[in-house]
Chain A
């Protein structure tokens, strides 16, 4: 199918964007940064086109649903939101050095979607319980949240890289000088985590509304639900630790990494546990 062909090209485009961001950081020339941004933007546009085609194809096949219904589609959308959010952030902050940490995550997710065994990229019909607009809003908001947490995680990693480079100042190549200051990374981590928290809240709520209609109760302590609650509590804890207890810097960076671990487990690990939600079976 044409959409999956485009999507595998997008995987390479993101990889190229990552390489250009890396060039910029190593060579310290903004020229490469501009190329990197354009490449990422082209990737995002191509990916959007592929998603729209996929959407339309599903209507042509008589199934008619948004491309958010199986594991493959969720991975693709996850990567899309990460790049979208990142480019928005780059535009607002006028700072390109975050890209070298964020874009590879999007690339890895795309690559995983296309090469991991057992992931079907077919457009499948929806079983009746999944035929709901609440499902679309649920997946949309959840992945917006996950993407924001992913950006926060990348910033957390950057924080440690920056901290390490600050330890031996005398030999700091362009790469480390171009990283934003620790205080700025801290502020950005906090903002991304807050954005993620708000989206995850909406994701959990829309999911509950859907569950209320589809299987009778708004909350049934299914492992996926429970893990999304755990993730939510961890980020709530993080916001309180920062705003009221004054946690900054290293502790916040650790929390973004820990929180991202919870996100990954909610998304992937839960499939090891029996669940209503599992895309896998």
Chain B
């Protein structure tokens, strides 16, 4: 590395800075799991003084992971990584290009005794056997013959020099993808009742409504339950409509999102819609019987024009007495309100005289009509999570790079090996040495293995 690099360059190429930054990011992440964030922070507002709260809010402490501080740290880490990699890459490149030189006397000097052995075979035969073995196991095998010795060199795992660079590149790509997502992405939620259509969704960050460039209709919602009542599966049939044309339609299941024009829809929840319909019969003294479908808020005139009838509430299970609706009838005599139960007969059986004691439970309170509830049509709403994150693909690419780089580092390491064969009277002395910048222990094991194999071959060729 050259000496005339500026102070700024050496600051940003230092690994000490990397260690400080990694610690700081970990520390910030930790703070964010203790201090309530985003929606949860609202609750804290009530417990601390308003001045302190607004100060902390200004310091972006309640949205730490999207705060200027966090971006600053990520930015510094990126610069650190970039400069550090640029600083070191020339060296890695030189190592990558460097061949194991055949004549490298110091590579096989001072070897421990277990790295050498003697053979009774002649030196040329030994050299051939060793060269053949090296050619099978290693790359770039080279040979140098001298008067009383043969040098063999070979190498392997050169590409794993790049493992670290790929890992570091992937971190840069990851940060880029995360920033793209957090600047250009949106996230929100909609609930759509079966049969209805929505054209906008509520943002997660501030609960404001944001229009979609198309509308979504929920045609049908299905939920399947386990025996214990927990949901086993739920799904919605959705139709996406733009300019009166269907652009997409399909089933949305949990874990199987649908993507339309960059917006991803996830099945996230469901519930019973408060806008369920009820079927009522109206029995007028004297015989006329009408069946009508009503929903909360519906109002219409009674068949005989005695007054206006309105549905105030629809309950699936009122006070554990089953489905009921609350209705009001307004006439020139004033307004009466009462509940109409579906299982009135059962209720009366269990509590004789209840309709006399509690007039509100009497479905014949407005004469000359008697109301009966035939049933509720349960209507579900489907809860959809809506996101748009243009950074996802970039982050995905980063993840692939990261794994690739790590595997390259884990399963391989660059090493060079040398085998020297010396003539000793009529015998040959074989020495095996090697060099690796990483994984010295692994290399030592490999050399022992190589040595044993050479021995084996020589013995078999006798």
Chain A contact residues, CB within 8 Å of chain B = 125, 127-129, 131-132, 187, 194-195, 197-198, 201-202, 205, 208-209, 212-219, 221, 223, 226-227, 229-230, 233-234, 236-237, 240-241, 244-245, 270, 273-274
The answer, yes or no, to whether B375 is at the interface (CB within 8 Å) is no
Additional 20 contacts, C-beta under 8 A, given A217-B387, A233-B23: A125-B232, A127-B230, A127-B231, A128-B253, A129-B255, A131-B233, A197-B406, A201-B402, A202-B403, A205-B402, A208-B399, A217-B389, A218-B395, A219-B178, A221-B65, A223-B33, A230-B29, A233-B26, A233-B29, A245-B16
| Residue pair B255, A187 in contact (C-beta under 8 Å) | no
Cβ-closest chain B residue relative to A220: B187
Closest 3 A-B residue pairs measured CB to CB? A128-B254, A216-B385, A244-B15
Instruction: Flag whether B355 is at the interface (Cβ < 8 A).
Output: no
With a CB–CB cut-off of 8 A, which chain A residues contact B253? 128
Q: How far is the CB of A258 from chain B (nearest CB, A)?
A: 11
Which residues from B are CB-within-8-Å of A198?
406-407, 410
In the complex, what residues of B have CB within 8 A of residue A245's CB?
15-16, 19
Q: Which residues of A contact B184 (CB under 8 A)?
A: none
Task: Give chain A residues whose Cβ lies under 8 Å from the Cβ of B385.
Answer: 215-216
CB <8 Å contact, B15 and A240: yes
B234 at the interface (CB under 8 A from A): yes
A195 to B231, CA, bound (A): 38
| Residues in chain A near residue B233, CB distance under 8 A | 128, 131
Residues of B within 8 A of A212 (CB): 392
Q: Decide yes or no: A213 and B231 within 8 Å by CB, A198-B410, A205-B402 being known contacts.
A: no
Q: Are A128 and B33 also in contact (CB < 8 A) when A201-B406, A212-B392, A214-B255 are?
A: no
Contact check, A237 vs B255: say whether CB atoms are below 8 A apart: no
Chain A CB within 10 A, most for which of B25, B255, B387: B255
- CA–CA, A87 and B30, complex, Å: 35
Count chain B CB atoms within 10 A of each CB in A218, A219, A227, A274 and give the residue with the most: A218
CB-CB under 8 A from A244, the residues of chain B are 15
What residues of chain B lie closer than 8 Å to A127, measured between beta carbons?
Answer: 230-231
Query: Which of B187, B231, B407 has a CB less than 8 Å from the CB of A128?
Result: B231
CA distance A125 to B37 in the complex (A): 32
B303 CB to closest chain A CB (Å) equals 47
What mask results when residues 10 to 24 of chain B are scored 1 for a CB within 8 Å of chain A, else 0?
A: 000001101100110
A208 contacts across to B, CB distance below 8 A: 395, 399
Question: Given that A221-B37, A230-B29, A233-B26 are known contacts, is A125 also in contact with B230, CB under 8 Å in the complex?
Answer: yes
1/0 per residue, CB under 8 A from A, across B375-409: the answer is: 00000000001110100100100010011001100
B22 partner, pick from A205, A215, A221, A236, beta carbons under 8 A: A236
Residues of B at the A interface (CB closer than 8 Å) are: 15-16, 18-19, 22-23, 25-26, 29-30, 32-33, 37, 40, 65, 178, 187, 226, 228, 230-234, 253-257, 264, 266-268, 385-387, 389, 392, 395, 399, 402-403, 406-407, 410, 441
Contacts of B407 in A (CB 8 A): 198
Instruction: Tell me whether A201 and B33 are in contact (CB under 8 A).
Output: no
Given contacts A128-B234, A226-B29, A230-B29, contact A213 B255 (CB under 8 A): yes
Instruction: Tell me how far the C-beta of B442 lies from the nearest C-beta in chain A, rounded to whole angstroms.
Output: 9
Cβ A215 vs Cβ B15 within 8 A? no
Please indicate the chain A residues that have their CB under 8 angstroms from the CB of B37 in the complex. Answer: 221
Partner of B33, one of A187, A197, A214, A273: A273
A-B contact pairs, 16 of them (CB 8 A): A125-B226, A128-B254, A194-B410, A205-B399, A205-B403, A208-B399, A213-B255, A215-B266, A215-B268, A216-B187, A216-B387, A221-B65, A229-B29, A230-B26, A230-B29, A237-B22
A216 B264 Cβ-Cβ under 8 A: yes
Cα of A154 to Cα of B221 in the assembled complex, Å: 52
Query: How long is the Cα–Cα vector from A214 to B178 in the complex, in angstroms?
Result: 19
Given contacts A125-B232, A216-B385, A223-B33, contact A233 B410 (CB under 8 A): no
Task: Judge whether B403 and A131 touch: CB under 8 Å.
Answer: no
| Given contacts A125-B226, A128-B233, A205-B399, A237 and B19 within 8 Å (CB-CB) | yes
Please pick, from B29, B234, B254, B392, the residue contacting A214 in the complex, using a CB distance under 8 A: B254
Q: In the bound complex, do residue B30 and residue A230 qualify as a contact, i.e. CB atoms below 8 Å apart?
A: yes
Q: How far is the CA of A227 from the CA of B234 in the complex (A)?
A: 31
Q: Do A216 and B254 touch (CB < 8 A)? A: no
Q: Closest A-chain residue to B38, C-beta based?
A: A221
**Judging by beta carbons under 8 Å apart, are A233 and B257 in contact?**
no
State the CA gap A44–B18 with chains docked (Å): 41
Residue of B nearest to A270 (CB): B33
A138→B185 CA distance, assembly (Å)? 26
Residues of the A chain whose Cβ atoms lie less than 8 Å from the Cβ of B33: 223, 226-227, 270, 273
Residues of chain A lying within 8 A (CB to CB) of residue B226: 125
Nearest A residue to B226 by beta-carbon distance? Answer: A125
